[in-house]
Amino acid sequence: METENKFKNRYRIKSARKLDWDYTNDGWYFVTICTKNMEPFFGNITDGKMNLSEIGKIAKKYWQEIPKHFPFVELNEFIIMPNHIHGIIGINNFNCCRRDEAMPRLYATHM
C-alpha cells in the first residue's frame, strides 16, 4: 500500500471513525489536532512539565473560549503537547439551533 511506504508504518493512517456513526449527531468526541509536519509549535517538555510557547498559550486560550462562541458545546479534559492537542468536547445542539445556524454565514446571501 502506498501510504504504508510513505509513513514507513509509523503512523496509523486508517480512519479511527466508527463506520456506522453519524458524526452530525450530538455527543462526546475525542479530538486530536496536530501541527504541520509535527513541528513542536506548542512548546516543549522539560523535567516532565509542558512549557507552553506563545503559540501554545494562544491555542489554550482559544480552546477554552470555544463555549463562549458555541453555547451548545461543553469542554472536558484537554492536554497540549509540543506538537498536538488532545481534547474531549461535548456537543449538545439539540436544544440550541440547527447546524446551519450554529455559525454565522461568512458572506451575506443578499446584496
Question: Which pLDDT does position 107 carry in this prediction?
Answer: 47
Confirm if 84 and 50 have CB atoms less than 8 A apart: no
**Which residues lie across from 89 on neighbouring strands?**
29, 75
Q: How far does CA 42 lie from the centroid of its chain?
A: 14
Return mean pLDDT, the chain: 83
Domains of the chain: 18-101 (3.30.70.1290)
One DSSP character per residue, 32-88 reads EEE-GGG--TTEEEETTEEEE-HHHHHHHHHHHTHHHH-TTEEEEEEEE-SSEEEEE
How do residues 32-74 score in pLDDT, each as one tens digit?
999 999 999 999 999 999 999 999 999 999 999 999 999 999 9
For the cut 80, the answer to whether the pLDDT of residue 106 exceeds it is no
How do residues 8-32 score in pLDDT, each as one tens digit?
666 656 777 788 888 888 999 999 9
